[in-house]
Copies of this chain bind each other. A is one copy, B any other.
Amino acid sequence: MKTDCHNCPLRKLDLFDPMSKDEVHFMSKFKTGEFVAQPGTEILAEGASSSQLYTALDGMGLRFKTLENGSRQVVGFILPGDFIGLQSGVMGEMQHSVEATTRMTMCVFNRSELWDLFKYQPRRAFDLTHVAATEEYLLGEALAAVGQMDGYAKISWVLNRFFRRLTALGLNENDQVPLPYRQQDIADAMGLSLVHTNKTLAKLREDGVATWANDTLTVHRPKMLAENAFERGTRLRTRPLI
């Protein structure tokens, strides 16, 4: 195991709630190892029951559902610190698939030990519920964007969200953040066609708002981007790290 929980690089970020010594100790016992997924690998499959749960430590991925009619809905983007497998852990099986976009490193936990967490670490159990509620919140925001905004606002919304999340993770350098996804991924997330997504990105570029090229997103006018996305003045919301 390369990364010991005691010097977890993620926990140091302001984005995540601090953890007590005891909690860190519990987590380091709870963590059974590390797992590296290569780009394009499926980490969890929709409908599958996994005996492992993960926390993304490094790299990026995405969550998606495949419909009967063949289309794909991206239900979330996985960035470092995100917990993977909650549904499998508490409901028995995943309701969406998870795939690695870049090379990903993940902390591995045994599902069978999840019960210990509830039994002996109520504080951590509460945090896990917090994580679940946060997921629900994020999905609600996404639903509102997909359901109510037009194309220009949708793309602004998703880029703004990436910009803010990645900035909180300390990955912002001169208003540039890494964004290794494909346009098709963003299209499938926002319920737009690839062509329309592409044209909308071009418009945002022409408008001098943001440029996304070479796996890098550059935001020239952060305020304008946030306005386009109807962002409310939301302060940084800290959350627990599992």
A residues near B (Cβ < 8 Å) are: 65, 67-69, 71-73, 75, 86-87, 89-91, 95-96, 115, 118-119, 122-123, 125-126, 128-130, 132-137, 139-144, 146-149, 153, 188-191, 230-232
Assembly CA distance A67 to B228 (angstroms): 12
Assembly CA distance A146 to B71 (angstroms): 12
Assembly CA distance A29 to B123 (angstroms): 22
The answer to whether A144 and B73 touch across the interface, beta carbons within 8 angstroms, is yes
Closest CB of chain B to A202's CB: distance in Å? Answer: 22
Given contacts A125-B126, A146-B147, 19 further A-B contacts (CB under 8 A): A65-B141, A67-B149, A68-B232, A69-B149, A69-B230, A71-B148, A75-B144, A90-B133, A91-B133, A115-B122, A118-B123, A125-B129, A129-B132, A136-B136, A139-B140, A139-B143, A143-B143, A147-B189, A147-B190
Assembly CA distance A136 to B96 (angstroms): 11
Known: A86-B133, A129-B128, A148-B73. A65 touches B95 (CB 8 A): no
Assembly CA distance A144 to B144 (angstroms): 12
- The chain B residue with its CB closest to the CB of A154 is B147
In the complex, which of the residues B90, B118, B132 contacts A122, with contact meaning CB atoms closer than 8 Å? Answer: B118
